[in-house]
Amino acid sequence: MFNYETVVGLEVHMQINTKSKVFCECSTEFGAEPNTNICVICTSQPGTIPILNKKAVEAIVKTGLALNFTINKQCTFARKQYFYPDVPKNYQITQSEPPLCSKGKLKIYIDGKEKIVNLARIHLEEDAGKLVHEIGNRKLDYSLLDLNRASVGLMELVTEPELSSPQEALEFLNELKTIVEYLGTSQCSMEEGKMRCDVNVSVRSAGQKELGTRIEIKNMNSISGVRDAIAYEVERQIEVLNSGGKLIQETRLWEAEEGITKSMRTKEGALDYRYFPEPDLVPFELSDSFIEDLKKDIPELPMMRKQRLIDDYALSDYDAGYLTSKREIADFYEESLGFTKDKKICAKSLSNWLSTELNGKLNADKKEISQSPVSSQSLAKLVNLIIDGKISGKIAKIVFEDMYLKSLDPEIVVKEKGLAQISDEGELAKICQEAINESPKVVEEFKAGKERAIGAIVGLVMKKSKGQANPGLANKIILEKLKN
């Protein structure tokens, strides 16, 4: 038996976030009626000429810059020939050599340890149409063709074969998705097919230099699916090798429900795409200023933003990780922090309110932070009320209900419902005296030296005041009363 190591390389297709397709003016809108977003160009009518969408090139160069790629100024296109019914022109316009971006890097963390994954390339290509084999749950005995997706712009990012476990592939895809979402160059929603992934997996004896025979798993559409498919595939390959068998280079399909991969076809060894320069798109050169302008447009990326939040506000790794998991959440947090009375003092409390209370309610309602009925300013006001001792954490939860359900301002809720904390000594002293009178046993215990017993009296004060007493002050008053 050998000791095997896993080698994984990924080819990730991300739909470029542009309003129109890459070679025509048709909309890229998801979920439109079949064949409504089509024209003579994206349905491949003879004699039509593709016109390059500048925004698509911008998106790829911006993504490349953010991932430390070298940008190739020479922009060229190629025809990749193949027959498939969802590509009526019998070729796909793509980039061969050079791609727009070569040799990038992405940093991930595995069990707290940094790993740099080398990236081979990002190139621009057009998507194919879609064959439809069922309507609702009804399987058809014929196929329908929907060309809405034909010629939608894709960026294909290819990694070097350097990922070495299912978990690493998962972390890599999560980090890539987060960065690209920050950049806004793709929406990366896997449910809508805007991020898809081909997974190449091989194994080799530990220490061996040459790569093992690779198996490609096509068209994965969930990140956890990628992880599970690699885990399954590695085990299968090791079993084949250990039983004296040989692996052949092939394409396999992931059957998510069964949790297994199945052979689809042996690798198109003989298949030659006969790439040649696309005659309808003339090569051109990107100007330095075009690239420089895009560089300036790159926002602070998630890992750096996370570190800054940790450094500036002493947030935990976990908290900062949640807050920077999406750009919209981080923006909401920092905007809200700007409305608090003291960023350093309020940072932790605000982070808690955002990640537990607000996030919990949004999740339950399947809403994004952009649809939050609680504004960033409102949430800051709530935190201010707590930090100022105007309301307790418990009361704050009641106030928050109204903020969320009715979009009300917390200060108004506190005022109208009379929820302000009782910090008036005279008023509080009266309630404390009542509570002491009603707790003779506790008083005895206290006098017998058990100071902690007064917690019960503070509890009673809180109950009597319906949670509005200032617990610190109540504690102090009760202590004084009992000591005298």
Residues that bind Zn ion (CB under 5 A): 24, 26, 39, 41-42
Task: List all residues 6 or more positions away from 286 whose beta carbon is below 8 Å from its beta carbon.
Answer: 57, 61, 71, 73, 74, 75
9 makes contact, choosing from ligand ADP, Zn ion, none, with CB < 5 to 8 Å by partner type, with ligand ADP
353: which DSSP letter? I
**Nearest approach, Cβ of 8 to ligand ADP (angstroms)?**
6
**Nearest approach, Cβ of 111 to ligand ADP (angstroms)?**
22
Nearer to ligand ADP by C-beta: 8 or 419? 8
How far from chain centre, in Å, is Cα 21? 24
Q: Which stretch binds ligand ADP (CB under 6 A): 37-45, 149-157, 159-167, 316-324?
A: 159-167
> What is the CA angle 51-54-56, rounded to 5?
100
Amino acid identity, position 138: R
Q: Is 11 in the site for ligand ADP (CB under 6 A)?
A: yes
Q: Is 261 in the site for ligand ADP (CB under 6 A)?
A: no
Instruction: In whole angstroms, give the CA distance from residue 108 to residue 176.
Output: 9
Size of the site for ligand ADP (CB under 6 A): 15
Which two three-digit tokens encode residue 166? 């299912």
Which two three-digit tokens encode residue 288? 């330095």
**Nearest approach, Cβ of 37 to Zn ion (angstroms)?**
7
61 makes contact, choosing from Zn ion, ligand ADP, none, with CB < 5 to 8 Å by partner type, with none
Nearer to Zn ion by C-beta: 22 or 173? 22
Instruction: In whole angstroms, give the CA distance from residue 439 to residue 442.
Output: 5
Which two three-digit tokens encode residue 304? 């750096």
160 makes contact, choosing from Zn ion, ligand ADP, none, with CB < 5 to 8 Å by partner type, with ligand ADP
Q: Is 49 in the site for ligand ADP (CB under 6 A)?
A: no
Q: Is 104 in the site for ligand ADP (CB under 6 A)?
A: no
3-state secondary structure (DSSP) of residue 68: coil
Q: Is 247 in the site for ligand ADP (CB under 6 A)?
A: no
Instruction: In whole angstroms, give the CA distance from residue 60 to residue 74.
Output: 14
Instruction: In whole angstroms, give the CA distance from residue 128 to residue 177.
Output: 22
DSSP lists the bridge partners of residue 125 as: 154
Q: Find tokens 């319906």 and name the residue.
A: 466
Q: Which stretch binds ligand ADP (CB under 6 A): 68-76, 209-217, 275-283, 442-450?
A: 209-217
Q: Which stretch binds ligand ADP (CB under 6 A): 59-67, 156-164, 388-396, 398-406?
A: 156-164
Instruction: In whole angstroms, give the CA distance from residue 327 to residue 451.
Output: 49
Strands (E), 16-137: 70-71, 74-75, 78-81, 91-94, 101-110, 113-126, 130-135
How far from chain centre, in Å, is Cα 312? 23
CB atoms within 10 A of CB 266: 11
158 makes contact, choosing from ligand ADP, Zn ion, none, with CB < 5 to 8 Å by partner type, with ligand ADP
Instruction: In whole angstroms, give the CA distance from residue 120 to residue 109.
Output: 20
Q: Which stretch binds ligand ADP (CB under 6 A): 124-132, 194-202, 426-434, 453-461?
A: 194-202
Q: Which stretch binds ligand ADP (CB under 6 A): 104-112, 166-174, 206-214, 331-339?
A: 206-214
Which two three-digit tokens encode residue 123? 């190139």
- From the list 161, 299, 321, 373, which residue makes contact with ligand ADP (rule: CB under 6 A)? 161
Instruction: In whole angstroms, give the CA distance from residue 130 to residue 132.
Output: 6
Amino acid identity, position 370: S
How far from chain centre, in Å, is Cα 303? 13
Do residues 261 and 277 lie in contact, with contact meaning Cβ atoms separated by under 8 Å?
Answer: no
211 makes contact, choosing from Zn ion, ligand ADP, none, with CB < 5 to 8 Å by partner type, with ligand ADP
Q: Residue with CB nearest ligand ADP?
A: 9
Q: Find tokens 């922009």 and name the residue.
A: 75
Q: Find tokens 């971006």 and name the residue.
A: 101
- From the list 5, 86, 160, 328, which residue makes contact with ligand ADP (rule: CB under 6 A)? 160
42 makes contact, choosing from Zn ion, ligand ADP, none, with CB < 5 to 8 Å by partner type, with Zn ion
Q: Is 9 in the site for ligand ADP (CB under 6 A)?
A: yes
Q: Is 212 in the site for ligand ADP (CB under 6 A)?
A: yes
Do residues 204 and 5 lie in contact, with contact meaning Cβ atoms separated by under 8 Å?
Answer: yes
Q: Is 10 in the site for ligand ADP (CB under 6 A)?
A: yes
Q: Is 166 in the site for ligand ADP (CB under 6 A)?
A: no
Nearer to Zn ion by C-beta: 42 or 56? 42
Q: Is 351 in the site for ligand ADP (CB under 6 A)?
A: no
- From the list 4, 7, 104, 168, which residue makes contact with ligand ADP (rule: CB under 6 A)? 7
26 makes contact, choosing from ligand ADP, Zn ion, none, with CB < 5 to 8 Å by partner type, with Zn ion
**Nearest approach, Cβ of 199 to ligand ADP (angstroms)?**
9
- From the list 39, 132, 145, 158, which residue makes contact with ligand ADP (rule: CB under 6 A)? 158
Q: Is 328 in the site for ligand ADP (CB under 6 A)?
A: no
Quick one: which of 397, 393, 448, 449 has its CA closest to 421? 393
CB atoms within 10 A of CB 325: 16
Amino acid identity, position 36: T
- From the list 92, 200, 384, 465, which residue makes contact with ligand ADP (rule: CB under 6 A)? 200
**Nearest approach, Cβ of 163 to ligand ADP (angstroms)?**
8
Which residues sit at the interface with ligand ADP, rule CB under 6 A? 7-11, 158-161, 200-202, 211-212, 214
